[in-house]
């Protein structure tokens, strides 16, 4: 029988009950064995009143067969007509709906877990929690869910095959487990076991999970997925004319052991990936564009190393954008306290457009990455990384090590360092080392952070991303975040003072930043944020902002910004932001905003607009920029979706439309139809004044066969 607490210790515990045959997954808990299992109850609030009894009753029952784990969850509701359910797309914003999270620490290591999220319409999303911090929402597990909404509330049945998750080899494996229910109309989150607000990471605080006992004689098995694809398309570009093409490719996922999985891909294609969001660069540094390709997103957290979006040793967008990926392999897994990841990718050469030369514009390359991370006692992790890009013209290699130690409720110490070796000695003249030490002391009320960063002028990993080399930086934050538990309208105020001081490797000051941020979260789920900033920049060489040349000198500018964001679950939510003040030696005013309209469960409209007005005392220093975007998400049911991303900006004068249709004809198998267009226009009000840059249409069919 499943027991909610262990009386001798007062520790909450869940027990899974063996059943002779699986239930029918239909959202109706009418099998006899469900009635015989005593439920997990006693959920407590994390939001809005930490530790208070949940306002609605929740019951969780757990069962298993040798091949799968089953959950029967009853979420009673005194106002069932208020249950929110609008998201049908797998992997969509399910947190806008009433939903439940099931988190399973399969190795019982208190650090890593599988996370399954299910909305009130039965829509699925899933993630991997790594080292109690990152959530990899791009992992896709195969499992079955179904829900029913009745006059008593909503009810859920879940089947998770043991081939979907990894766990130890013991006859009776110990695991950890936690559940979270969100009651969206109340902005209420309830946990079992309770993970208080002092634990800032919430469900990622794996060390606070309750034991899951009772599992015995599970069949782990070997799992192989073969996923061939067929693609056909036509592409018309202004520069190259019209081309038609068909191609085939293959993806394979295989469990080489019960704890390790290898992924193989041949003739890799990413035609179905959504286009990048347009950004207008009004800084003097490189913009960061996030990865959207499925192969690189899965298990991405294991390969993370360095300072996110600042100095990353491995940044996957360095691979496969300029040159096509011919084939790739990836090995990931865990043995005891050690997690291991390795990746190898071959990219083909890009020939020179000049037929008179044989030298490739981009040479063929082997791209290799190896990552290891070991868990030490006391919530401490020690890791290392190696990357290498090998071409016929040379190599670029990086080695690094990192240490993470977590303590108290949500505090941590983070240390990493890496060095680059390049065959071209001229690229590594100067310091090719980068590293960072970061101390964070925090709970729900207080925050103190201190960071020291060093990025050498020659730290240039070919497979990484460095936004600003040649710097030594001190940074930090201090703040308070009081809550208003008795208020009917305000939930939490965050007042944070942040600063950094940047010098070049030569010790000469380059920049400083001082920022005061004041954010107020409302009980409704809305929030408003007011920031005031002072920035200093020293230009030792001229810089260019949107093509305008800034002279060598010191600049100090002060700015203010206010922005408002609504609760994402609202049927119609309007957001807005305004900032104004100094900008280098001139001024800049920014106005932005948009709305999200959830028309119904079949259609969501998301719009955004950015406008900048800049005045600089340089040649043609007065200018403005406009960026408009609209995202449409349509779903006929949980298997057929359509997405459209429409974008226009007056810097490139390009209108872009990316339209994707996805039909999940069988679990894990898709039919994609993709249309991607772009054309130049000098004015929105004159659609006749256009020039097509590209018109692309693609049909891609995939089919998964599991063994």
pLDDT confidence of residue 286: 78
CA 460, CA 246: separation in Å to the nearest integer? 38
C-alpha to C-alpha distance for 563 and 591, rounded to whole angstroms: 10
Respond yes or no on whether the N-terminal peptide bond of residue 591 is cis (omega within 30° of 0). no
pLDDT at 668: 80
CB neighbours of 308 closer than 8 A, spacing ≥ 6?
none
Sketch out the chain's domains with CATH numbers. 5-213 (2.60.40.1190), 299-425 (no CATH)
Tell me how far apart the alpha carbons of residues 102 and 125 are, in angstroms, rounded to a whole number: 11
pLDDT of residue 365: 94
- Whether 673 shows a pLDDT value over 90: the answer reads yes
- Report phi then psi at 32, rounded to 5: -60, -35
pLDDT band at 2 (very low <50, low <70, confident <90, very high): very low
Say which residues have a Cβ less than 8 Å from residue 170's Cβ, sequence separation at least 6. none
Structure tokens, 305: 């190393």
In contact, 4 and 12? CB cutoff 8 Å? yes
- In this predicted structure, what is the pLDDT of residue 4? 39
pLDDT band at 530 (very low <50, low <70, confident <90, very high): very high
**How far is it, in rounded angstroms, from Cα 507 to Cα 451?**
17
For residue 1, pLDDT beyond 50: no
Residue 156 near residue 77 (C-beta atoms within 8 A):
no
pLDDT of residue 691: 73
Q: Quick one: average pLDDT of 572-598?
A: 96
Q: Is the pLDDT of residue 656 over 60?
A: yes
pLDDT in tens, 269-317: 777 777 788 888 888 877 777 887 878 877 888 999 999 989 999 999 8
Alpha-carbon distance of 437 to 394, in angstroms, equals 32
pLDDT at 285: 79
Contacts of 537 (CB under 8 A, 6+ apart): 510, 511, 554, 555, 584
Whether 488 shows a pLDDT value over 50: the answer reads yes
Alpha-carbon torsion (192, 157, 201, 304), positive or negative: positive
Write the pLDDT tens digit of every residue in 22-32: 999 999 999 99
- Is the pLDDT confidence value at 375 over 80? yes
Q: What is the pLDDT of residues 21-65, one digit of tens each?
A: 999 999 999 999 999 999 999 999 999 999 999 999 999 999 999
Q: Nearest 5°: phi and psi at 82?
A: -90, 0
* Residue whose C-alpha is closest to residue 372's, from 441, 303, 430, 461: 303
The confidence band for 518, taking pLDDT boundaries of 50, 70 and 90, is very high
Check pLDDT > 50 for residue 387: yes
How are beta strands 490-503 and 509-522 bridged, if at all? antiparallel
């Amino acid at each position: 029988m499943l027991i909610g607490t262990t009386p001798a210790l007062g520790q909450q515990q869940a027990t899974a009950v063996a059943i002779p045959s699986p239930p029918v997954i239909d959202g109706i808990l009418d099998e006899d064995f469900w009635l015989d299992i005593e439920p997990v109850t006693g959920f407590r609030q994390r939001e809005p009143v930490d530790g208070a009894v949940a306002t609605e009753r929740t019951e969780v029952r757990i069962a298993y067969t040798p091949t799968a784990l089953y959950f029967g969850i009853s979420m009673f509701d005194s106002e069932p007509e208020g249950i929110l359910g609008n998201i049908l797309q797998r992997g969509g914003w399910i947190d806008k709906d009433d939903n439940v999270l099931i988190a399973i620490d399969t190795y019982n290591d208190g650090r890593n877990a599988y996370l399954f999220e299910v909305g009130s319409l039965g829509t699925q999303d899933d993630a991997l929690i790594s080292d109690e911090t990152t959530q990899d929402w791009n992992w896709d597990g195969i499992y079955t869910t179904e829900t029913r909404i009745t006059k008593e509330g909503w009810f859920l049945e879940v089947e998770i095959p043991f081939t979907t998750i990894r766990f130890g080899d013991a006859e009776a494996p110990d695991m950890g487990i936690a559940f979270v229910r969100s009651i969206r109309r109340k902005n209420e989150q309830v946990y079992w076991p309770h993970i208080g607000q002092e634990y800032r990471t919430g469900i990622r605080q794996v060390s606070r999970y309750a034991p899951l006992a009772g599992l015995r004689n599970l069949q782990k098995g070997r799992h192989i997925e073969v996923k061939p694809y067929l693609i056909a398309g036509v592409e018309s570009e202004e520069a190259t004319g019209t081309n038609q093409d068909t191609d085939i490719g293959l993806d394979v996922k295989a469990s080489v052991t019960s704890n390790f999985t290898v992924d193989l891909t041949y003739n890799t294609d990413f035609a179905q990936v959504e286009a990048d969001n347009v950004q207008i660069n009004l800084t003097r540094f490189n913009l960061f564009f996030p990865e959207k390709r499925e192969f690189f997103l899965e298990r991405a957290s294991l390969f993370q190393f360095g300072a996110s979006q600042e100095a990353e040793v491995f940044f996957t967008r360095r691979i496969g954008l300029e040159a096509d990926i011919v084939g790739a392999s990836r090995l990931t897994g865990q043995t005891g306290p050690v997690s291991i990841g390795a990746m190898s990718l071959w990219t083909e050469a890009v020939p020179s457009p000049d037929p008179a030369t044989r030298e490739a514009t981009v040479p063929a390359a082997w791209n290799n990455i190896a990552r290891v991370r070991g868990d030490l006692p006391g919530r401490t992790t020690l890791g290392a990384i190696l990357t290498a890009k090998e071409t016929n013209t040379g190599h670029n290699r990086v080695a690094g090590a990192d240490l993470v130690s977590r303590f108290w409720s949500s505090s941590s110490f983070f240390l990493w360092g890496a060095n680059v070796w390049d065959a071209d000695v001229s690229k590594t003249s100067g310091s090719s080392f980068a590293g960072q030490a970061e101390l964070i002391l925090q709970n729900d009320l207080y925050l103190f952070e201190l960071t020291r960063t060093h990025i050498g002028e020659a730290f240039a990993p070919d497979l990484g991303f460095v936004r600003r080399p040649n710097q030594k930086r001190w940074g930090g934050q201090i703040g308070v975040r009081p809550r208003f538990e008795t208020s009917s309208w305000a939930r939490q105020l965050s007042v944070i003072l942040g600063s950094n001081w940047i010098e070049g490797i030569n010790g000469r000051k380059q920049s400083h930043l001082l920022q005061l941020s004041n954010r107020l979260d409302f009980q409704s789920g809305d929030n408003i944020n007011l920031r005031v900033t002072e920035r200093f920049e020293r230009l030792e060489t001229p810089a260019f902002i949107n093509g305008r040349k800034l002279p060598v000198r010191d600049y100090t500018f002060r700015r203010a910004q206010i922005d408002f964001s609504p609760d994402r679950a609202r049927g119609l939510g309007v957001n807005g932001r305004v900032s104004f003040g100094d900008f280098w030696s001139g001024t800049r005013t920014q106005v932005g905003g948009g709305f999200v309209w959830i028309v119904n469960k079949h259609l969501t409209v998301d719009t955004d607009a950015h406008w900048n007005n800049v005045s600089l005392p340089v040649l043609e220093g007065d200018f403005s920029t406009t960026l408009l975007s609209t995202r449409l998400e349509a779903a006929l049911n949980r298997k057929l979706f359509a997405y459209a991303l429409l974008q226009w900006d007056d810097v490139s004068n390009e209108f872009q439309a990316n339209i994707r249709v996805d039909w999940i004809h069988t679990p894990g198998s898709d039919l994609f139809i993709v249309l991607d267009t772009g054309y130049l226009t000098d004015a929105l009000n004159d659609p006749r004044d256009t020039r097509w840059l590209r018109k692309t249409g693609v049909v891609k069919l995939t089919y998964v066969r599991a063994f």
